[in-house]
Every structure is written in structure tokens, then in C-alpha cells.
Amino acid sequence: MRNLFKLYRNLKPFILLIIGVVALTYLQVMANLELPKLMANIIDNGIITGDIAYIWKEGGYMLLIASAGGICAILASLMAARTSIGLGRIVRNRLFAHVENFSLHEFDRFGASTLLTRTTNDIVQIQTSTIFFLTMLANALFTSVGAAILAYSADPQLTRILYVALPVVAAVMFVVTRLVVPLFGLVQAEIDKITKVVRENLTGIRVIRAFNRVDHEKVRFERANADVTNTYIKVNRIMAVLMPTMMLLLNAVIVAILWFGSARINTGNLTLGPMLAFMQYALQIMVALIMLTVMFIQLPRSVAASDRIMAVMETQPEIADAAETRQAGAERGHVTFQDVTFSYDGGEEPALSNITFDANPGETTAIIGSTGSGKSTLVSLIPRFYDVDSGKVLVDGVDVRELSQEDLRGRIGFVPQKAVLFTGTVADNIRYGKKDASDEEVAYAAKVAQATEFVESMPDGYTTMLSEGGLNLSGGQKQRLAMARALVRRPEIYIFDDSFSALDFKTDANLRAALKKETHDATVIIVAQRVGSIMNADRIIVLDEGRIAGLGTHQELMKTCEVYREIVYSQLSEEELA
Ligand code: ADP
Ligand code: MG
């Protein structure tokens, strides 16, 4: 509940619209309440006395009021729709901006798929309920109070019927709410499950096919689907019972009014008009009660949705700029690790322990080690994707925690292990590294990254559209575009996380030669699988289970480092070594 109110604080810009909705609703309710009175007059003074002119006059007036009420209702729902959609837009924007600031840590914690449903489904949920609340709440309140007063003034005696009927209606509604609300909670969880299954199926389609798991996945989906279906059937069963029950109650009230009313008409205490007016008011009150119930059923869903949204909103990114950021020193491109230890959330063993090394401009520092040894983790600490547990990572002599993230990352050209491309043209994707890069710069970066040949053989060259994630490219092609994206920035520090393993040996060699020229005064950090890719590096760091097992040049390591020798012997033949 508290979170829902917090979300509704974002309604501030719409305060005028909301006042408009309430005012129009008030007018509409007033018109509705006026109608039974007019009808009573027509019956008593027109139909019974046979005064046709009076019927026409009052009837015309009734028509006028009814249309005015209708127009008010339409305007009110338009304004309510505006408000709720505007609220959705604001919350969505805020949420998105907030999530953009998350460090990888928070992404790990939430997981992409729930962040996705929270920014879409949950916000739609809030939007829907806002419309409900805006249009129904005021209406139900005005109607029930107004109609109660008018019913009483039409005939105080008949009001006693309502004393009995309304608690019964309220009791039925209460029972229904109690039954339905938990079911709706269940539906939400089950829809989450379906989303998860579908998502995994879409992203994992190749694996599913390759391992003949289609049937297994079908069963999994069918199960999730059947769960939702069954719950919805339960909900609808209750609703199906509800409608006739309410009709029965309404009709019982009508019968009671006719029964007791006609007795009072017989004794001359009441006329036909007010009795029929009373009946209308009684119905209006009961309908208002039903509306309130519908709102109560919707309420828990929007409370749940707002909880999920606020949980994201209130998560402070672990990595934020320091209050006072420092400018990096005059040196360019120094990367220093001082006794760094780091563990992931929930990891028992540190992913990295006691890492100490220096990488200098003009030098290539290579990192090698078996999978899971912490290579990607190590390089992700340089752009401060995560914060270290102890020790320090320095860039240009300043602790990365004291640099502003923008300044820090502006110095780095990062090629992640898994190349990620965006929907857009080839040139767009390369320009992602530098917004204002000229066509020549883009082409040059592509040339260094050995991408020219395949880019130019594509139908539209640099303006060829790439699909989402670059699905229409091979792994090695994606890697090379990701590299061009880093190269076009001409950063001080290049980080290549395993960017060469998807390339054939020849392209690998050409690329390294071209890179060497390009990066002669920059700091280059290369994570590699193949010894051949890094043999000539100025410094090789051998990682083993998060620790440095050896540090030095190829020759030095061959003499001193057992782990390195094992890697080398497993990859290179005798001639290559000699
Ligand atoms: P490498 O790149 O050398 O193959 P990584 O640096 O990716 O290895 O992983 C090192 C260790 O950290 C592995 O044991 C892996 O399970 C763990 N790890 C990697 N990423 C995460 C993460 N986001 N959350 C938790 N543990 C992780
Ligand atoms: Mg890795």
C-alpha cells in the first residue's frame, strides 16, 4: 500500500486533470440523481393526470440532463485515461533511467527478465488500476451518498428495506473479494513463470533443437500454461456465481420495494412516482457497491505491481560516483592493481585474490588461464563494473572509485567477451564508440579490426542493417565489429576480453599486426585462450583459480611457471615452440 502511494506521488503534474475528473464525475452523478426525481414528476403529474404537454416538457428536460451527464462521463474518462497513461510514461521513464544507473551487481541481483516485466507489465497494471480508481472511486462515493439521501427523502419508510439489503450485498462482495484476491496473486506468479519459459525457449532455441528437447520444453510450457488456465477458470467460476447472485439480490430488492411500496400507496401514504424513484436510487446504491468491490479486487494487484516497481526504484546502485571526484594525473594509460581481492555476491570463494600488477602505455599485458580462472572478472574491475572487496585498482594513478565513471570509461575501449551489437547499421554500431566519428574514422577502425572485407561484401556495406544482437553475423564478424567500436574511440586503454578466439589463425595474426601499429602508445590488455595470440606480449599474467600463478614474459614463464608450461604444451607443437 505504501509503495502504491509513493508511486502516486508521480501524479502531481496531473493534479488539474484529476480535479477535472472529480468535478465532471460529480456533475455526472448529479445528473444521474436528478433523473429519477424528474421521472417521478412525470408519472405523478403527467401520466396519471393525462397532461401530455407536461410529459413532453419534462421528458425533454430529462433527455437534456441525461445527455449532459453522458457528455460529462465521456470527458471524465478521457481525462482519466490521459492521467493514467501520463503516469505510466513518467514511471516508465524514471524506472528506465534508474536501471540504466545500476551497476552489474544490481543486474546480477534482479535478473534481466524481471526487470523487463517490471518496466512493462507491472506499469501497465498500474495504469489500468489508475483509470479504474479515477473513474469509479469518485463515482461510487458520490452516488452512494447522494442516492442514499434522496432515497430517504423519497420515502423514509421504504429505506428500511435497504437496511437489510445493503449488508447482504456487502457480505457477498466481501466473500467474493476474499476468494478472488489470492487467486489473482497466483495468476501473477504463474504468468511470470510462463514468461520465463517462453524467454528461455526463444533464446535457447538452438540448444533445444540440437539436444532434441522440444518435447520436454513443450511439456514444461503446457504445465505452466495449464496452471494459469486453471486458476483463471477458478476465478471465472466465482465470478459466474457472482453475477446471478447479484441479480437475484437486485430483483429481490425490487420485489420488496413494490410489495411494501404498493401497500403504502394503498393506504395513501405514498404515490407511484416517488416509489419508482426510490427503486432507482436503491439500484444506484447497489451498483455503486459493486463498483467499489471491483476496485477492491483490483487493488491488491496494483499494490503487488507497485511493490515490484518500487523495489527496483529504491535499490541504490552500489557503484556511484564519489561525492568529490578526482581528475586523473597527467600520465596516460597506467593501470595498476594493488593486492586486489574480489568476490561476487553469493560466491563462497573470492573470484580474485591478491592480484598485483602494472600495465603501462606502449605495452601489451596478456592474461591467460583456464575457463573460470577469473580473467573476465579481472578486466571488468578496470571500468569499475564491480567494486573490489579490498586492495585498489588505479587508472592513471587514481583509484577508480575516485574517478567519475564517465571520465574513467571515456579512457577505455572495452571489447567484451560476448560481442553485443545493437539494432542499426554497421556504421551505427561502430559509431557507438564515438558519436561524432567521421566516415573515414569508421572505415579506418573497421580496417584495423580486419572487418573491411566482410563489411564491404555485405549488400549495403556500412549501411547494412544488423538485426537485434547482430544475429545475421558470425561470431567472429561480431567480434571484429565490437573491436572496431572500441578502436574508433582511440582510448588510452584497450581491453580485449577473449576477442581473438572466434577468429581463424590468419585473421588473428593480421589483426594483431594491425593493432600493434594502432596501439603503440596505448595500454593494451588482452585476455586470450591461445598462447599463440599472446606469446609476444610484454607481460603475461597466468591466472589460476583467481590467483596469479605466474607473471613475466613468455621466456621467463616457460622457465618458472608450471601452469603456463602446461597450457603451452597442450596447445603448441614442438616446432612452434622452437
Ligand atoms: P574466465 O573469464 O576466466 O573464464 P570469469 O572471470 O568469467 O572466468 O569467472 C570467474 C569465476 O567467477 C567463475 O567461477 C564464475 O563462476 C564466477 N562468476 C563470473 N561471473 C559471475 C557473476 N556475474 N556472478 C557470480 N559469479 C560469477
Ligand atoms: Mg571470460
Q: Which of 490, 506, 533 is the last residue of a domain?
A: 490
| Domain-embedded: residue 192 | yes
Ligand 1 lined by 103 (C-beta under 6 Å):
no
Residue labelled with grid coordinates 554497421: 426
Q: pLDDT digit string (tens) for 91-120? A: 999 999 999 888 888 888 887 777 888 888
CATH of the domain at 462: 3.40.50.300
The DSSP secondary structure of 177-206, one letter per residue, reads: HHHHHHHHHHHHHHHHHHHHHHHHHHHTHH
Ligand 1 lined by 377 (C-beta under 6 Å):
yes
pLDDT-derived band at 26, boundaries 50, 70, 90: very high
23 contact partners, CB below 8 Å, separation of at least 6: none
Same-domain pairing of 143 and 195 = yes
Same-domain pairing of 23 and 127 = yes
Ligand 1 lined by 529 (C-beta under 6 Å):
no
Q: Which of 444, 474, 490 is the last residue of a domain?
A: 490
Same-domain pairing of 259 and 301 = yes
Same-domain pairing of 228 and 173 = yes
- Which atom of ligand 1 lies nearest, measured to the CA of 546? 10
CA-based nearest residue to 102, from 378, 313, 305, 376? 313
| Residue 526 pLDDT | 93
Task: Name the residues around ion ligand 2, CB cutoff 5 A.
Answer: 375-376, 417
Task: State yes or no: pLDDT of 323 exceeds 90.
Answer: no
| Domain-embedded: residue 320 | no
Q: Of the residues 353, 370, 376, which should be mutated to test ligand 1's pocket, given the most ligand atoms within 8 Å of the CB?
A: 376
Task: State yes or no: pLDDT of 416 exceeds 70.
Answer: yes
Q: What grid cell was written down for 212?
A: 532434441
Q: Measuring from atom 5 of ligand 1, which residue has the nearest CA?
A: 374
| Domain-embedded: residue 319 | no
Same-domain pairing of 390 and 248 = no
Query: What's the domain count of the chain?
Result: 3
Range of the domain at 467: 419-490
CA of 368 to the centre of ligand 2 (A): 10
| Domain-embedded: residue 16 | yes
Q: What grid cell was written down for 13?
A: 503534474
Task: State yes or no: pLDDT of 185 exceeds 80.
Answer: no
Same-domain pairing of 215 and 122 = yes
Residue 96, CB-side half-sphere exposure with 13 Å CA sphere: 9
Q: What is the arithmetic mean of pLDDT over 243-268?
A: 89
Tell me whether strands 539-544 and 364-369 are parallel, antiparallel or unpaired. Answer: parallel
Phi-psi region of 347 (alpha: psi -120 to 50; beta: other; left: phi over 0): beta
Q: What is the arithmetic mean of pLDDT over 52-60?
A: 90
Same-domain pairing of 335 and 285 = no
Residue 338 CA to residue 355 CA, distance in Å, equals 7
Ligand 1 lined by 380 (C-beta under 6 Å):
no
| Domain-embedded: residue 318 | no
Q: Measuring from atom 25 of ligand 1, which residue has the nearest CA?
A: 344
Same-domain pairing of 145 and 284 = yes
Task: State yes or no: pLDDT of 172 exceeds 90.
Answer: no
| Residue 578 pLDDT | 58
Ligand 1 lined by 221 (C-beta under 6 Å):
no
| Residue 66 pLDDT | 95
Task: State yes or no: pLDDT of 573 exceeds 80.
Answer: no
Same-domain pairing of 229 and 282 = yes
Same-domain pairing of 69 and 118 = yes
Q: Of the residues 108, 110, 340, 344, which should be mutated to test ligand 1's pocket, given the most ligand atoms within 8 Å of the CB?
A: 344
Q: Is the pTM of this model over 0.85?
A: no
- Which atom of ligand 1 lies nearest, measured to the CA of 374? 6
CA of 373 to the centre of ligand 2 (A): 8
Same-domain pairing of 245 and 367 = no
Q: Measuring from atom 16 of ligand 1, which residue has the nearest CA?
A: 372
CATH of the domain at 221: 1.20.1560.10
Which alpha helices (DSSP H) does 314-438 contain, by range? Answer: 375-380, 405-410, 426-431
Same-domain pairing of 423 and 387 = no
